Structure 1
């Protein structure tokens, strides 16, 4: 594997001063900035404004990052700033820009030799080596943005690695569930304590998610958990389907098309899919929120931090494919990054334009970095941002982010002295585990959205979202840190 297994804890770990000291310092060549210098610029922007934008940086900064990132430059183009979707006019612009870059790179042995063109949104990836190319593109009115998408901002260190014992990131662990953390319902399924906190079991008297397709864009689905595969229809769960796709390329080479399949090699995607849609059966295992909803699982990333070129592209391909499916209503993304990623942002806007509800995790981090606000893509207005709070109180979980961009919250950390999180199916067949953070909060909310949409199949996304808001604690007001608060699923489906 080309990256360490990470959780969203890494999202902020790199902001400490000690992190910068660990970065390699390259010897300047022709004004080339080192990674340490580039990251310092990024960190300064994040700490002062809460965001970072590549296109607004100096030419030399972008060029240096391109050099440190396999010379890959992503170009977002179009007829206007908001023209992200393909059209005949946009196709002409695309061809013109490709020829422009190739002419500017004609004397380079490495430049403009590779190319990736997205078929749905106005984005191209091309190899660039000349500083003049970047300068020219920044001045071109047809260019919406440029980004060094091969540049890896986050350095992988021991502090940032995820525990395999569970939590919000990667992990294959299992756990014996405390009897205080669930109750059993017919025909023998375990209802997580957090479901009762949101009146989800009561909502099942009105809706179980039938007829709605929930998509989980994450690390894939475990082939070893039969209840999320061949036994997806079991017990009270019937007449639904599970589909698995893979858009992630596991390769050091940026231009590789060696897709890595559909199977989860992290554990995170399996748990998120299970929280939203696990079957209700008689095997004494945790049930999902929408236990009669269809599931589409995409292995689009290696882990939950969107830092690698192939992860960005994998998410784009997953989102655009889902956007073009009429059956998909809800898309859940328990993934994140400290600042905006152009092509991922375009793909989310594309899915949003097709009427999809895209839910995103507000951010899960280490306790000393939760000062940072809502991460990307939950920071986008086109997503529904969710974070986790403690049981019975509005206090973010020990590792959860909060802020003005949050729309909803889910109780996912106990206050009964155990700090236990949400019981869920694990990676391994017939086993359970606990999962926490804004990740499980997001997948839970995706399941609630499916319940509402199933009850009202002709409704639009706006109508479903409005009903969810009306069913939440703070409506019609919005809390500065917790949005509309906890949703009462029963009210949402009545």
Structure 2
């Protein structure tokens, strides 16, 4: 074993121990005998005011929600948890190589989704949903290649860990186990956000990127500062919404930053962050309605033409059809037996009551008659009245 390799493995072991026993066991199960090189490009220490952050203005949503209570899983190249703006709830390495990010790609994605707000320290960069809970699932050590089987496994594992949003910024080819993994996660009410893919310069021929091209996935294309779709953004895959994807600023390995990132893979995490904001604000919405909200509230969205994601509208807009869809259920009919039936009529009691009423009426009539007859009788001293006799003729 060379000294360089011993140094890499020692560093991996030190980071594994620093992560704690439970996380360490998942982060680095057992290093392979032939691990690939782990040499991420170097970033810088300075960071400017990101144009994508200004364009989306997602900080305007923070008085309402910052994504608290929502878990976002990043199935990517891993995340460097040593960055001061990144905090991981769980870290898993499916490649059995290194627990950290050897490329920088996953670390940048994580920063765009949930980089901590450190504006009080004069750091202008922040993630869309800074209080979202992050899970890193490492499935590759390469940005343009990877094991599709591990990608599928990572999506399933994210769903089983309770992720409400899964970001996939890696484009792969169609494969049955990947499709099955996507269907599994969607059935568990996960919002899957995926990069629509980039047109490769080698052949220049666009081809559908997966899992973005699968039904039910929120597919994201890239725009530049001018608001136009970038030349590299894949047009052959269905695009649900657009987000900034050129000259992107984000976190990088080694507690550094990059300000020159480009690709739909950096547009997707903006939308994943917005999905976290929506799920935090509207926990009653399922993944279909969260996806629909993001699509129809996007700036410039019209028919089949996707618009640029609008975080504030996605969180706050009142959608009439959605209000009807989430209206409270009408109360169910009362179960049988809860209301007592009316008792059968008591005919004997009724007959007695009628008889008593009639006797009372007769008594009242007699009393009334007596009230008239008795005074007359007293005035005549109880003598009978005279009867008129008709007169005889000639008298």
1:303 has 2:142 as partner:
yes
Partner of 2:289: 463
Partner of 1:380: 214
Q: Taking structure 1 as reference, are residues 294 and 437 closer, same or farther at Cα in structure 2, changes over 3 Å only?
A: same
Structure index of larger Rg: 2
Secondary structure of the residue aligned to 2:171 is coil
* Aligned residue runs from structure 1 range 46-125, under 5 A: none
1:401 has 2:240 as partner:
no
Indicate which of 288, 293, 300 corresponds to 2:127: 288
Displacement, 1:365?
3.8
Displacement, 1:404?
5.5
More helix by share: 2
Q: Report how many residues are paired.
A: 277
* Aligned residue runs from structure 1 range 355-374, under 5 A: 355-367=189-201, 369-374=203-208
Q: Taking structure 1 as reference, are residues 477 and 492 closer, same or farther at Cα in structure 2, changes over 3 Å only?
A: same
Indicate which of 155, 158, 171 corresponds to 1:319: 155
TM-score by length of 1: 0.53
Q: Taking structure 1 as reference, are residues 365 and 403 closer, same or farther at Cα in structure 2, changes over 3 Å only?
A: closer
CA distances 1:182-230 after superposition (whole Å, capped 9, x unpaired):
1xxxxxxxxx2212212312122322111111110001112442432xx
In 2, are the aligned partners of 1:172 and 1:428 still within 8 Å (CA)?
Answer: no
Indicate which of 153, 165, 168 corresponds to 1:333: 168
In 2, are the aligned partners of 1:207 and 1:455 still within 8 Å (CA)?
Answer: yes
Secondary structure of the residue aligned to 2:189 is coil
Secondary structure of the residue aligned to 2:245 is strand
TM-score by length of 2: 0.65
In 2, are the aligned partners of 1:361 and 1:386 still within 8 Å (CA)?
Answer: yes
The whole-number CA distance in structure 2 between the counterparts of 1:460 and 1:218 is 25
Displacement, 1:493?
1.1
The whole-number CA distance in structure 2 between the counterparts of 1:399 and 1:488 is 22
Q: Taking structure 1 as reference, are residues 427 and 283 closer, same or farther at Cα in structure 2, changes over 3 Å only?
A: farther
* Aligned residue runs from structure 1 range 170-319, under 5 A: 171-175=40-44, 179=48, 182=49, 192-228=50-86, 232=87, 242-248=89-95, 259-281=96-118, 282-285=120-123, 286-307=125-146, 311-319=147-155
CA distances 1:295-345 after superposition (whole Å, capped 9, x unpaired):
0000111223344xxx2232222211222233x1100000012x3122122
Displacement, 1:399?
2.8
CA distances 1:398-453 after superposition (whole Å, capped 9, x unpaired):
4322246111111233xxxxxxx111111111544432210110011100111111
1:487 has 2:323 as partner:
no
**Cα RMSD for the two superposed structures:** 2.3
Partner of 1:346: 180
Gaps of 5+ in 2: 1-37, 317-395
